[in-house]
Amino acid sequence: MWATEPVEVVAPDPHWADRGPALAGELDGLLAPWLVAAVEHVGSTAVPGLRAKPVLDLMAAVADPAAMARDAAEPLQRAGWELVPPELDGRAWRRLFVKPDMAGRRRVAHLHVMRPDEPRRAQLRLFRDRLRADPGLADRYAALKATLAARHPDDRERYTAAKARFVEEVLRG
């Protein structure tokens, strides 16, 4: 059911600031044999005060994402994580895991697994950090996200694609 949940942007939850790092810490322990850097909380829920989809985005750097996804599948599954098949995800630069809620109805977290030198890794960090540093920029992003969630409530891919221009502008600085 979580795979088809609607796009919903909600008011900021002050608990995201604790939940993200706590979940990252759990993953640090679970994925220690594969990690080349600590798991990080990225995405909108990592920006204090920012409206967001209520899904914590976490990022892990590993030497070989495909091998890690294969070798760590069982411990991740026991911890409630599900691998999104690479052909379904359509992003060759990562492996994506989703943690659904207990009822399996909505996503609670995403785990983006990529190589340490993957350019997207630096971009995710830079985007998060620029929004943290500039409340006006974060407000503009929140307004855009609310508009796009209303425009594309049943199409996560179109919602994400529609944010691309803004994201590129932020990354260019």
Give pLDDT tens digits for 110-127: 999 999 999 999 999 999
Q: Is 72 in contact with 101 (CB distance < 8 Å)?
A: no
Q: What is the CATH number of the domain that holds 36?
A: 3.30.460.10
Read off the tokens for 16.
């995201």
Q: What domain count does the chain have?
A: 1
Query: What's the domain range around 39?
Result: 2-172
pLDDT digits (tens, 9 = 90+) for 19-73: 999 999 999 999 999 999 999 999 999 999 999 999 999 999 999 999 999 999 9
How far is 6 from 14, CA to CA, in rounded Å?
23
To which H or E segment does residue 84 belong? Answer: strand 82-84
3-state SS class at 138: helix
| pTM above threshold 0.75 | yes
Q: 112-125 as b/e, with b when 16 or more CB fall inside 10 Å?
A: bbbbeebeebeebe
So what's the pLDDT on residue 5?
A: 82
